[in-house]
Structure 1
Amino acid sequence: MTSHMIEAGKPATRIRSEALQVLLERGLVHQCTDLEALDEKLASGSMTAYAGFDATAGSLHVGHLMPLMTMRWLQKLGHRPIIVLGGGTSQVGDPSFRNEARPLLEERQIAANIAGIRRSVERLVDMRGEDGALLVDNAEWLTEFRFLEFLRDYGAHFTVNRMMTFDSVKSRLDAQVPLTVLEFCYMMLQAVDFLELSRRHDCTLQVGGSDQWGNVVNGVELGRKGDGRQLFGLTVPLITTANGAKMGKTAAGAVWLHPEHLSPFAFWQFWRNTADADVPKFLRLFTELPMTEVMRLSELQGAELNEAKKILATQVTTIVHGAEEARHALEQGDALFSGDEADAAPTHTLPLARLAEGLGLLELLVEVGFATSNGEARRLVEAGGVRLNARVVEEPRRRIASGDLGARDRLTLAAGKRRKALVGFE
């Protein structure tokens, strides 16, 4: 099978389709099973593509934005996206590049997680009209299979020899960590997803993360062996920040897309705090600004670069949470970081009774997401990095009292130079 590795932001020559031109220019393509043939297919008319997400949590996170932005661009350029929510595969758990098995989830929890994920997805792709995006659950077909039927229909199309060559499996075995048959079969289930979608919806392209390459290739090959179909696979790159960290991880954990898991302002603030070196890349990947504007903003330096970060934060928040929430977040950020807290809405609201119960500073730092534990919060305080109402706090055992509240029962809390929260009590 032909495979192409793509250098981010470096379009291949002689690309005919506008969709592939855009994806390559914005750095959304890492690897493709057959770039030239996919280009011809995209240029010849509308095609259907899918991206799948297992329901392992009640929300997707910013790491999922890469395939979602890819689907969003494909739809804008005349192609139809399908978002597969893994009600079936979530019962198994993807072992790709993990050192231990995922916890098995009950069907009730999976259903609740799917409901949360659906809310975010519906903002990112347009589901209106007959040609709108589709949301499907792979439990629809996977739970219908009987074991012997599944083995008979699909088992002959997979070889253990081939499956053992994929990096996701090799890394687990090289680490001498057990890989169960349940997990090993996951890639077969994902391949069957692709074949079923091609049969039901004429879907011919799968989009996934770079760690899904083996699973994607299996689906492409199953389509060829099982039905003689020409299917395509495309992966997006794994994004790391300028300091080498995996994109989307903070001291408080994952940067969630669902507003009940992370407030729109905290989401906005994550992007506003982007490292200088990451601004050009993130503008290209996570906004829909014209490339001419991306290039202009990418050349800004010094204080002007802060304006580019605000534009980045507002653009991404608009895509994920809507224009109104993005505007509110921008207004909160401007007021809060200019020192005019009176005009800012609280980024966190707690019951006033918490003060009477004895709210500790360390507890509050964890509550607002500046630390993941009291121990981490203590280290922040001891390093002199915490400010309460603009004053450095040196005592980790400090308690929050009613005297700390200013007008309208509020206080400000800051950690380092970039993280600031306005906490209200009511």
Structure 2
Amino acid sequence: MNIIDELEWRGAIYQQTDETGLRELINKEAISLYCGIDPTGDSMHIGHLIPFMILCRFQNYGHKPIIVVGGATGTIGDPSGKKEERKLQSIEQINQNVASLRAQLEKIFDFTGASAAIMVNNYDWTKDLSILDFLRDYGKNFNVNTMLAKDIVASRLEIGISFTEFAYQILQAMDYNYLYEHHHCKLQIGGSDQWGNITAGLDLIRKKQGENAKAFGLTIPLLTKADGTKFGKTEGGAIWLDPEKTTPYEFYQFWINTDDRDVIRYLKYFTFLSQTEIAELSIQVEKEPHLRAAQKALASEMTEFIHGKNALKQAIKISQALFSGDVKSLTASEIEQGFKEVPTFEAADEDALLVDFLVELGIEPSKRQSREDIANGAIYLNGERTQNLEKVVKATDRIENKFIIIRRGKKKYFLIKF
């Protein structure tokens, strides 16, 4: 199957500058193509994965990915999708972000072999460019009327846009021209909001390299959830690739909680499962949705892809322990992942009667209620039902001498730290 055919089946193509020309090119030769990311933060989130998954698919077909980490463009900020000016960051902070993003991207792409990916920083080819050279060599090639007509700029005209962000598309066009000239890059891919920046790059290439220069652009549809909300956002915020910001367990849970209406689409977008495998999972969604086989496949594929096999095993173990109530089997590090969002209390390093312990921590409102819940079997200590009113909570009850997990009723958990 041609890579373009696969992308179309996966619903991953929104616009192409020249579909016929691109098909002919990739049928004849392996090409270099690129996608960029600005280091506005120290971690990618799952929204950033969408174009990079497409880049990975091209690599699997023998094409050579170029990842541009925008050390230069990141100092300005893309106006696309923004209602106000981006706050500028220091060069030091941007450099730290570049290093963090590089580490994450190195886990996603293969940097060995014939189609080895390369990673570049656009700061390297812009840092020595003077303002006069910029205006003479590049500014002269851009028509202000054309720039104003681009959606990314037009959407900001009513509220205003600085010259800094207005000039962003010139810098991105310079990237494409540089990569075309120095790395034989023939294709830029990006989200649907990048169409204006991509076409600006193609215009610059034709002006700089000649009208016969063969270069192409491809954009990916905006991904939304079935309920109309933005993909990748939760009540707790973005789903990050950094395990310190979003633990592998939380990452796994995000995918496993995917709506039935979205799961097949996400499997096509984000996993490398075959058409046959996804078709079988689609049938299971229709016939046995309660088994959530498609969600489990999606969560497993994505967690292993980003965090590795061990992190996936750990995430599944935590999920199973919480479902069964067998929390005593968890290690301290697994408890920190799985109970990150539950009410957490600090306890004194001393023995205490369970009845009093629950009241002092605020888990129970009174001793009467505490005794009643214990006697009725509503209190679980590290997953074990405790109905003894004389039970004393001791150091031996702690998991790795750090935690005790209290459960009240079926689902209400509390984490006690020592």
CA apart distance, 1:39 = 0.7
Matched-pair contact (CA < 8 Å) for 2:75–2:91? yes
Query: Which of the residues 293, 307, 325 maps onto 1:307?
Result: 293
Query: Letter of the aligned partner of 1:28 in structure 2?
Result: A
Matched-pair contact (CA < 8 Å) for 2:345–2:416? no
- Distance 1:423-1:297 versus aligned 2 partners, 3 A rule: farther
Match of 1:220 in 2: 202
- 2: CA distance, partners of 1:359 / 1:238: 46
- 2: CA distance, partners of 1:31 / 1:126: 27
Matched-pair contact (CA < 8 Å) for 1:96–1:168? yes
- 1: CA distance, partners of 2:94 / 2:406: 38
- Distance 1:148-1:287 versus aligned 2 partners, 3 A rule: same
Query: Letter of the aligned partner of 1:113 in structure 2?
Result: N
TM-score when normalising by structure 1: 0.80
Match of 2:229 in 1: 245
1:102-141 equivalences under 5 Å are 102-129=86-113, 131-141=115-125
CA apart distance, 1:308 = 1.8
- 2: CA distance, partners of 1:297 / 1:267: 21
CA apart distance, 1:425 = 3.6
- Distance 1:359-1:34 versus aligned 2 partners, 3 A rule: farther
- 1: CA distance, partners of 2:249 / 2:163: 43
CA apart distance, 1:244 = 0.6
Tell me whether 1:198 sits opposite 2:192 in the alignment.
no
Query: Letter of the aligned partner of 2:262 in structure 1?
Result: D
Query: Which of the residues 400, 404, 407 maps onto 1:410?
Result: 404
- 2: CA distance, partners of 1:18 / 1:413: 54
CA apart distance, 1:424 = 7.0
Matched-pair contact (CA < 8 Å) for 1:208–1:236? yes
Q: CA RMSD in A?
A: 2.8
SS at match of 1:39: helix
Deviation per CA, 1:12-35: give whole Å up to 9, x if none.
Answer: xxxxx6211111111111111111
- 1: CA distance, partners of 2:379 / 2:233: 25
Deviation per CA, 1:155-204: give whole Å up to 9, x if none.
Answer: 2211111111111111111xx21200011000000000000011111111
- Distance 1:124-1:184 versus aligned 2 partners, 3 A rule: same
1:47-66 equivalences under 5 Å are 47-66=31-50
1:284-323 equivalences under 5 Å are 284-301=268-285, 302-323=288-309
- 2: CA distance, partners of 1:203 / 1:117: 22
Query: Which of the residues 311, 318, 321 maps onto 1:332?
Result: 318
- Distance 1:326-1:423 versus aligned 2 partners, 3 A rule: farther
After TM superposition, the runs of 4+ consecutive aligned structure 1 residues lying more than 3 A away are 301-305, 352-361, 387-390, 420-426
- Distance 1:191-1:356 versus aligned 2 partners, 3 A rule: farther
Query: Which of the residues 63, 81, 87 maps onto 2:65?
Result: 81
- 2: CA distance, partners of 1:227 / 1:158: 15
Match of 2:190 in 1: 208
Match of 1:178 in 2: 160
TM-score when normalising by structure 2: 0.81
- 2: CA distance, partners of 1:260 / 1:216: 34
Deviation per CA, 1:374-404: give whole Å up to 9, x if none.
Answer: xxxxxxxxxxxxx9979xxxxxxxxxxx89x
CA apart distance, 1:290 = 0.7
Matched-pair contact (CA < 8 Å) for 2:345–2:361? no
Matched-pair contact (CA < 8 Å) for 1:20–1:42? no
Query: Letter of the aligned partner of 1:142 in structure 2?
Result: T
Gap regions ≥5 residues in structure 1 = 1-16, 362-386, 391-401
Match of 1:27 in 2: 11
Query: Letter of the aligned partner of 1:214 in structure 2?
Result: G
Query: Letter of the aligned partner of 1:328 in structure 2?
Result: Q
Mean CA deviation greater in 341-350 or 265-274 = 341-350
- Distance 1:135-1:146 versus aligned 2 partners, 3 A rule: same
Deviation per CA, 1:36-62: give whole Å up to 9, x if none.
Answer: 101111111110010000000110111
SS at match of 1:71: helix
Match of 1:187 in 2: 169
1:378-393 equivalences under 5 Å are none
Match of 2:244 in 1: 260
- 1: CA distance, partners of 2:322 / 2:7: 36
SS at match of 1:82: strand
- Report how many residues are paired: 367
Greater C-alpha radius of gyration: 2
Matched-pair contact (CA < 8 Å) for 2:300–2:312? yes
Matched-pair contact (CA < 8 Å) for 2:249–2:338? no
Query: Which of the residues 317, 327, 333 maps onto 1:341?
Result: 327
- 1: CA distance, partners of 2:255 / 2:149: 38
- Percent identity over paired residues: 40
- 2: CA distance, partners of 1:274 / 1:412: 29
Matched-pair contact (CA < 8 Å) for 2:260–2:289? no
Matched-pair contact (CA < 8 Å) for 1:54–1:86? yes
Matched-pair contact (CA < 8 Å) for 2:405–2:416? yes
Matched-pair contact (CA < 8 Å) for 1:220–1:230? no
Matched-pair contact (CA < 8 Å) for 1:191–1:222? yes
- Distance 1:421-1:112 versus aligned 2 partners, 3 A rule: farther
Match of 1:373 in 2: none
- 2: CA distance, partners of 1:72 / 1:300: 28
- Distance 1:421-1:273 versus aligned 2 partners, 3 A rule: farther
